């Protein structure tokens, strides 16, 4: 019974982290039809910024938990929004209308460039910012312990998921974005400033990636390459759920999270295999993912 509880708790905690990582990726694809490989770099930038700032804060004798969270939030939002704006205005803007594959290659190039930029700025030594994770303590369930920080990540993930749903479904700007998703050209003809909407969407997607990195920084050692590791997982989740679907990303993350937790608790050697086995199984029966929709191509 303890193992079942452990699988459920671990599965949902991991799913919440996966959703955080994948949300920005799926928002950008949903609106802009860009498979943003640079999303991994935005995650890494958020993690580096938060880990550096937390390091300075604690080295200066800081010990307030709320300040640590404020630092993570400010750093992640600032670096995500600024980098997102720079990528969209400086590069993607001039490439709109090109083939999706070309956009994927361009964002992959951005990923590689940003990886080296991060090495130049932060070097190769791992950054640790474990203090908030340790300070929040844990809850004991028999021999099993659950980190309160992990539960906070779960809560943040739910807030972001609900916030995204509300933004897209219940706000004016959300309605405009949905009109762009349905038909970009007609929206333009109706007076929608598609370029500005794209900029806003990309900045929000990039900020979500950086928030995921910032919130993960106190859990992991922040090292070069974490962005590349995470983008592969994020793709597995959004492909399982259906590219461009927020609900799909959430359901995909829960399925992958629970399957992975079940594997680790029962057959640990299958941990990596199970994630991609789930993705493959879903795609066999639903080639566009659980919530993805087949779209006729214009030729």
Partner 1 sequence: MKTIQQRNIWQKTLLSTATSVALASAGVMGLTATAHAQDSFKVGFVTFLSGGASGPFGVPASQGAKVVVDAINEGTLPAPYDSKGVNGLTLEMVEVDEAGGPTKQVEEYRNLVERQNVNAVIGYISSGDCLAVGPVAEEMKTFTIAFDCGTSRMFEELEDPKYVFRTGLDAVADNVGAARYLAETRPDAKRIAGIQQNYAWGQDSWQDFTLAMEQLMPEAEIVNNQTPQIFQGSYGTEISALQTRRPEIVHSSMWGGDMESFVAQANARGLLAQATALLTTGESGLHRFDGQAPNGTILGGRGPFGGFMPENDLSEWFSKAYEEEHGTPPSYPASKAAQAILALKYAADNSGADGVPSSEELAAALKGAKFESVSGTVNMGLAGGHQAVQPMLYGEYHFEDGQAELRNVKSYAGDCVSAPDGYNAQEWIKEGFPGSSCD
Name the site residues for partner 1 (rule: CB under 8 A): 2-3, 6, 9-11, 13-14, 17, 119, 123-126, 128, 130, 133-134, 138, 140, 143-145, 147, 149-150, 216, 219-221, 223-226, 229, 260-261, 264-265, 268-269, 271-272
* CB of 226 closer than 8 Å to CB of 52: no
Secondary structure of the chain: what % helix, strand, coil (to 5)?
Answer: 75, 5, 20
* CB of 46 closer than 8 Å to CB of 210: yes
Q: How far is the CB of 56 from partner 1 (least distance, A)?
A: 16
Q: How far is the CB of 142 from partner 1 (least distance, A)?
A: 9
**Of 222, 12, 270, which Cα lies nearest the Cα of 121?**
222
Cα dist. 94→90, 97, 110 in Å? Answer: 8, 9, 15
Cα dist. 92→29, 78, 128, 211, 249 in Å? Answer: 13, 20, 33, 22, 24
Q: H/E element holding 140?
A: strand 138-141
Q: How far is the CB of 89 from partner 1 (least distance, A)?
A: 29
Q: How far is the CB of 149 from partner 1 (least distance, A)?
A: 8
Q: How far is the CB of 234 from partner 1 (least distance, A)?
A: 14
Residue (1 or 284) nearer to partner 1, CB: 1
Orientation of helix 194-216 relative to helix 65-90, angle to 10°: 140
Residue (107 or 216) nearer to partner 1, CB: 216
Residue (99 or 142) nearer to partner 1, CB: 142
Round to whole Å and give the CA distance between 252 and 295. 20
Residue (176 or 259) nearer to partner 1, CB: 259
Cα dist. 272→105, 220, 275 in Å? Answer: 26, 19, 6
Hey, how many other C-beta atoms are within 10 angstroms of the C-beta on 162? 10
Q: How far is the CB of 4 from partner 1 (least distance, A)?
A: 10
Residue (12 or 198) nearer to partner 1, CB: 12
Q: How far is the CB of 95 from partner 1 (least distance, A)?
A: 29
Beta-ladder partners of 141: 144
Residue (88 or 150) nearer to partner 1, CB: 150
Hey, how many other C-beta atoms are within 10 angstroms of the C-beta on 273? 11
Residue position matching structure tokens 């700032």: 53
Residue (199 or 221) nearer to partner 1, CB: 221
Q: How far is the CB of 16 from partner 1 (least distance, A)?
A: 11
Residue (180 or 217) nearer to partner 1, CB: 217
* CB of 187 closer than 8 Å to CB of 178: no
């Amino acid at each position: 019974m303890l193992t079942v509880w452990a699988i459920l708790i671990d599965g949902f905690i991991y799913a919440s982290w996966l959703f955080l990582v994948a949300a920005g990726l799926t928002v950008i694809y949903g609106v802009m039809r860009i498979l943003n490989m640079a999303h991994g770099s935005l995650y890494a930038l958020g993690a580096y910024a938060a880990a550096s700032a937390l390091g300075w804060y604690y080295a200066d004798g800081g010990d307030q938990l709320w300040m640590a969270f404020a630092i993570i939030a400010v750093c992640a939002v600032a670096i995500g929004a600024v980098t997102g704006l720079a990528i969209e205005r400086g590069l993607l803007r001039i490439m709109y209308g090109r083939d999706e594959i070309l956009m994927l290659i361009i964002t992959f190039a951005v990923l590689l460039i940003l990886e080296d930029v991060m090495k130049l700025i932060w070097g190769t030594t791992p950054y640790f910012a474990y203090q908030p994770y340790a300070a929040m303590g844990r809850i004991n369930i028999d021999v099993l312990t659950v980190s309160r920080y992990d539960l906070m990540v779960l809560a943040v993930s739910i807030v972001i998921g609900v916030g995204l749903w509300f933004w897209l479904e219940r706000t004016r700007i959300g309605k405009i974005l949905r009109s762009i998703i349905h038909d970009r050209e007609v929206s333009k003809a109706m007076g929608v400033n598609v370029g500005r909407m794209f900029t806003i969407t990309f900045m929000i997607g990039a900020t979500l990636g950086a928030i995921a990195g910032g919130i993960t920084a106190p859990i992991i050692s922040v090292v070069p390459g974490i962005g590349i590791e995470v983008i592969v997982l994020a793709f597995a989740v959004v492909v399982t759920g259906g590219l461009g679907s927020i609900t799909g990303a959430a359901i995909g993350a829960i399925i992958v999270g629970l399957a992975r937790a079940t594997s680790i608790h029962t057959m640990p050697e299958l941990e990596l295999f199970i994630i991609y086995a789930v993705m493959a199984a879903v795609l066999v029966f639903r080639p566009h993912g659980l919530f993805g929709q087949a779209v006729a191509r214009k030729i």
